[in-house]
């Protein structure tokens, strides 16, 4: 089995930050239960923190931090390796190279990370982001080693500021599943 090396420092930092975000929620719940008073301000803070945890958690779970190739199957592991997915080579259209920017359009200089986007015949796209792997080039090498087609490079484009447009989406390259 061939695999790309996971960046465990990033993995540990994400785990710590998630625990830091979750801890005030448990404090509010335990305090409210101990006092047996449910006041409005702790409930508002609880809902706000819960929304932040859900938004951060959703982003974390969409980015695989483990990639392995076993035969002609791709094995993906997601933070914190609680669950994994696997795909056959025939389920994949190809992959492209792009970048993912953070803090774009908020008046600050944006931070960009290189990514590979894996296009599946089902229409799903999977992003392999640089900070989740020690050596990003390993991903391209692994995908090419089992014959997955490199579709090319694409610019980062957004519609309505939050929805990303994909150059090599299923509709644009005429693949029917």
> pLDDT at position 176, please?
41
Does residue 78 form part of some domain? Answer: no
> pLDDT at position 97, please?
92
* C-alpha span between 121 and 123 (Å, rounded): 5
Nearest CA among 150, 19, 141, 134 for reference residue 66: 134
For Cα atoms 56, 83, 27, give the angle at the middle one, nearest 5 degrees. Answer: 45
Does residue 153 form part of some domain? Answer: yes
| φ and ψ of 158, to 5 deg | -125, 145
Does residue 57 form part of some domain? Answer: no
Task: List per-block mean pLDDT (blocks of 10 residues) for the chain, which spans 177 residues.
Answer: 79 77 73 64 74 68 80 81 79 89 65 87 87 86 90 79 69 46
Does residue 109 form part of some domain? Answer: yes
Token readout for 72 is: 């002609």
Helix (H, G, I), strand (E, B) or coil at 160: coil
- Taken as a whole, the chain contains a residue count of 177
Residue 139's domain comprises 89-173
Token readout for 176 is: 């029917």
Whether the CB-CB separation of 115 and 98 falls below 8 Å is answered with yes
> pLDDT at position 159, please?
65
Domain count, the chain: 1
How does DSSP classify residue 148?
P
Does residue 124 form part of some domain? Answer: yes
Token readout for 21 is: 């975000």
Does residue 49 form part of some domain? Answer: no
């Amino acid at each position: 089995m061939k695999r790309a090396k996971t960046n465990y420092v990033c993995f540990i930092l994400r785990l710590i930050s998630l625990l830091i975000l979750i801890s005030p929620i448990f404090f509010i719940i335990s305090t409210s239960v101990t006092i047996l008073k449910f006041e409005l301000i702790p409930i508002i803070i609880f809902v706000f923190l819960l929304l932040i945890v859900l938004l951060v958690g959703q982003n974390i779970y969409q980015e695989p931090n483990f990639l392995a190739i076993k035969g002609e199957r791709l094995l993906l592991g997601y933070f914190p390796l609680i669950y994994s997915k696997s795909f056959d080579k025939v389920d994949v259209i190809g992959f492209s190279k792009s970048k993912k920017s953070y803090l774009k359009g908020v008046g600050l200089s944006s931070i960009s990370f290189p990514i590979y986007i894996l296009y599946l015949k089902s229409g799903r796209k999977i992003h392999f982001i640089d900070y989740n792997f020690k050596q990003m080039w390993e991903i391209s090498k692994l995908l090419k080693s089992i014959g997955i087609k490199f579709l090319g490079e694409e610019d980062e484009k957004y519609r309505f500021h939050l929805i990303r447009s994909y150059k090599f989406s299923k509709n644009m390259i005429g693949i029917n599943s």
